[in-house]
């Protein structure tokens, strides 16, 4: 039978996971709420220009 405690002690994370984790956390990509806010600001600014 497997001894899960022993197996967990032997566990080592893959370097690929570490690289992916760093890339994901260090990437400054806007999320959907940032994009919606930006679109609303642009629409409001555009609406103000069209009213003049």
CA dist 48 → 3, 4, 9, 41 (Å) = 68, 64, 63, 11
CA 43 – CA 37 distance, rounded (Å): 10
The pLDDT tens digits for 22-41 are 888 887 777 889 899 999 99
The pLDDT tens digits for 9-24 are 998 877 787 788 888 8
CA 27 – CA 29 distance, rounded (Å): 6
Q: Mean pLDDT over all residues of the chain?
A: 84
Rounded to two decimals, the pTM is 0.41
């Amino acid at each position: 039978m497997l001894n899960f405690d022993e197996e967990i002690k032997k566990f080592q994370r893959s370097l690929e996971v570490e690289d992916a984790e760093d890339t994901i956390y260090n990437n400054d990509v806007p999320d959907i709420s940032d994009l919606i806010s930006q679109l609303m600001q642009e629409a409001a600014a555009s609406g103000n220009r069209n009213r003049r």
